[in-house]
Amino acid sequence: MTIKVGDSLPEATFMTMGADGPEPAMTADVFSGKRVALFAVPGAFTPTCSAKHLPGFMDNAEALAAKGIDAIACTSVNDVFVMSAWGKESGVSDQMQMLADGNGAFAAAIGLELDASGFGMGSRSQRYSMIVNDGVVEALNVEEGGEFRVSSAEYMLENL
């Protein structure tokens, strides 16, 4: 079943890159007590994700903060090393947390997994964005296959 507005996020463990290497980050650690703009991409370093999705949230971080967003997080079904390298190459600063969902457990738990095996990518996450307020989904924007519109930072800003 796909997560919907009003649902609480399931407990899941992401991996993040800390000063001493990979570190776990539980759902509660990331979302409790904050209003978070979370967006998911099918893959780090993929064309739309690298050219539009990630940069859009970086470019609009201040505007999102001005509308009450406390933090921005990006997730993908990639390992923590790939997510860290993508963040570094893209110039991601402390304004955004890169959450590796290496086994796709979070994507599956919220019902937004994507079978990308036809592209040689295996199981991934659908492209979406959501606003999570203290662990509860406040807004959810899931893209139709192959599109990039409703999950963008610009769309989120227009609808806040």
> 5 lies in a domain?
no
Task: Tell whether the torsion through CA atoms of 148, 153, 154 and 158 is positive or negative.
Answer: positive
> 43 lies in a domain?
yes
Q: Which of 37, 49, 54, 71 is catalytic?
A: 49
H helices of 8-131, in order, are 27-31, 47-48, 54-59, 61-66, 80-90, 105-109
The values of phi and psi at residue 36, to 5°, are -115, 135
> 83 lies in a domain?
yes
User: For position 34, which CATH number holds?
Assistant: 3.40.30.10
Q: Considering only 40-44, 76-80, 83-87, which range has the smallest mean pLDDT? A: 40-44
Q: Which residue has the higher pLDDT, 59 or 120?
A: 59
Q: Is 49 one of the catalytic residues?
A: yes
Task: Tell whether the torsion through CA atoms of 36, 114, 144 and 58 is positive or negative.
Answer: positive
> 7 lies in a domain?
no
> 8 lies in a domain?
no
Give the number of domains in the chain. Answer: 1
> 133 lies in a domain?
yes
Task: Tell whether the torsion through CA atoms of 54, 139, 147 and 26 is positive or negative.
Answer: positive
Give the domain range for residue 149: 13-158
> 23 lies in a domain?
yes
What's the rounded Cα separation, in Å, for the pair 25 and 64? 23
Q: What is the pLDDT of residues 22-41, one digit of tens each?
A: 999 999 999 999 999 999 99
Half-sphere exposure of 109 (CA within 13 A, CB side): 15
